[in-house]
């Protein structure tokens, strides 16, 4: 096992709230998958959960070394939770193709959020 890259990101929850208020579904559909939106909408403080997923996607882009663009789009990364609540990543589209091309076989993530901030770490692993 070899680490391909690591990433970290922090985002102000208010920034995500403002984007949702200003752009609504256009912002949500551009950045979050349907499953992510369904999960966040069920939460009492949805913007905190959206912010954590936004930070996770930024952290993954940093771990890949690509940023968000040609090799990796927002919806190529889906942040889900297993039955005990542990977050995990499902890759698709160009992001999955890039991961396969460079040998990334696993992405480990950790999320956290408070009233004002959300943060995430990501580790891209090659096996």
Catalytic residues: 62, 113
Structure tokens given for 50 = 């959206």
The CA distance from 44 to 49, in Å, is 9
Name the nearest CA neighbour of 90 among 35, 28, 31, 26: 35
Residues in the chain: 127
Three-state SS letters, 40-95: HHHCCCHHHHHHHHHHHHHHHHHHHCCCCCCCCCHHHEEEEECCCCCEEEEECHHH
């Amino acid at each position: 096992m070899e680490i391909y890259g690591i990433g970290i990101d922090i985002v102000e929850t208010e920034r995500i709230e403002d984007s949702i208020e200003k752009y609504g579904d256009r912002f949500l559909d551009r950045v979050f998958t349907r499953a992510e939106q369904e999960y966040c909408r069920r939460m009492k403080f949805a913007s905190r959960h959206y912010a954590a997923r936004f930070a996770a996607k930024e952290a993954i882009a940093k771990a890949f070394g690509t940023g968000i663009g040609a090799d990796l789009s927002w919806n190529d990364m889906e942040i889900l939770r297993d039955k005990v609540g542990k977050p995990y990543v499902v890759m698709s589209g160009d992001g999955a193709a890039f991961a396969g091309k460079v040998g990334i076989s696993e992405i480990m993530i950790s999320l956290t959020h408070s009233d004002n901030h959300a943060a995430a770490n990501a580790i891209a692993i090659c096996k």
